[in-house]
A = this chain, B = another copy of it.
């Protein structure tokens, strides 16, 4: 492909991604301000819901957080009743984390609020445009995830 065409796409897509990510972050923060959790707590709960019984080490890795930061986060969330910490019966040295009913409840509420926002945006597109957006985001996400490993 012509080199200038590719460079132009890189410049424009970098700007678009930066801008879209900024608005998503801002909207996410607005939505969370109606609930009693912070952005890192929300992200940790999403991981805990997907991976019940995850260890602390695995959680830090998935959140790209230093384990000292994640430990403080987990302490606060346990106190607030969003998660339980239990010793692995097979290996008592290992601590396993699991989300509580209260934790599940709060993330469903937050995700529903986020979906209502996305819905209000997508309602302004045709189904073909929506499908195209989904395909593009899927490819982008897969390549970004592969790049993180």
Contact = CB atoms under 8 A, between A and B. Distances in A.
Interface of A: 1, 5-6, 9-14, 16-28, 43, 64, 111, 114-115, 117-122, 124-127, 129-141, 143-145, 147-148
Most buried by B among A121, A139, A141: A121
Most buried by B among A12, A23, A64, A118: A118
Main secondary structure of the interface of A (DSSP, over half): helix
A122 B24 contact: no
B9 A131 contact: yes
Given A10-B122, A122-B6, A138 B16 contact: yes
Given A19-B141, A21-B21, A140-B133, A11 B115 contact: yes
A101 to B, nearest CB: 22
